[in-house]
Amino acid sequence: MNKYAAEFIGTFWLVFGGCGSAVLAAAFPGLGIGFVGVSLAFGLTVLTMAYSIGHISGCHLNPAVSVGLWAGGRFSAADLLPYVLSQVVGGVAAAGALYLIASGKAGFDVTAGFASNGFGAHSPGGFSMQAALVCELVLTAMFLFIIMGATDDRAPKGFAPLAIGLGLTLIHLISIPVTNTSVNPARSTAVALFAGGWAIEQLWLFWVAPILGGVIGALTYRFVDGNKA
């Protein structure tokens, strides 16, 4: 159970820190951190948790990562469902805590988005469903490629959290305008449950594209690496 508890806590931190920066700090009058700050916040959550719980659970914090690592031969199928459940529940708990904080401000409207992911009219930049699908698939594939490479036994020791955290930061810098950046079904589900409406209706894409992308990225790394697990 210690592995599942670690995934719960780690995903809680990712959603609370990443989505919290978007909801509370991104547009703060005069001092807002903007999408660059939000990108860095997401990367920092993964970096800090990777050093904190990487030796306990592997610090997946993301169903697409768990499925990708399984496809890449790095993770047991027996742990797959418990990991995904722990990640989703941890994310929802974080979204609940964030909701309690955000709703303490007059005029707060959770239906305005609550850092949810979307496409079309709900894309920050007005990007289509096709653009969102390709973006999430490609970026999650690259995220898994980075994770597989950085955690390889032959990679420099102790630097994997930096590569993975900075990789996630870069992913957000690219894709916040397109989808508000998911690459993580647990992160998307957590806030969508509170936003409701369109966020729930479009949630399917932010499960399908990241998981498919994660599998592609992991299998691509195995191919490049000569099929070494």
Give the mean model confidence (pLDDT) for residues 176-193. Answer: 98
Number of domains present in the structure of the chain: 1
Compute the mean pLDDT over every residue in the chain, rounded to the nearest whole number: 96
Tokens of 227: 């099929």
Whether 229 is covered by a domain: the verdict is no
Q: Is the pLDDT of residue 49 over 80?
A: yes
* CATH at 33: 1.20.1080.10
- Dihedral angle at the C-alpha atoms of 215, 120, 94, 193, nearest 10 degrees? -100
Whether 204 is covered by a domain: the verdict is yes
Q: What is the DSSP string of 41-76?
A: HHHHHHHHHHHHHHHHH----SHHHHHHHHHTTSS-
Whether 213 is covered by a domain: the verdict is yes
- Return the pLDDT at 226: 83
Task: Tell me the pLDDT tens digit for each residue of 137-151.
Answer: 999 999 999 999 999
Helix (H) or strand (E) holding 19: helix 2-20
Local structure of residue 23 (DSSP, 8 states): I
Question: 189 near 203, Cβ under 8 Å?
Answer: yes
Q: Which one, of 219, 115, 128, 104, lies nearest residue 176 by Cα?
A: 115
- Return the pLDDT at 200: 97
Whether 93 is covered by a domain: the verdict is yes
Whether 207 is covered by a domain: the verdict is yes
Question: 213 near 64, Cβ under 8 Å?
Answer: yes
Whether 164 is covered by a domain: the verdict is yes
Name the pLDDT band for 124 (thresholds 50, 70, 90). very high
Whether 158 is covered by a domain: the verdict is yes
Task: Tell me the pLDDT tens digit for each residue of 83-101.
Answer: 999 999 999 999 999 999 9
* Residue 67 structural domain: 2-224
Local structure of residue 204 (DSSP, 8 states): T
Q: Is the pLDDT of residue 228 over 90?
A: no
Integer CA distances (angstroms), 151 to 58, 60, 171, in order: 10, 12, 19
Specify the pTM.
0.95
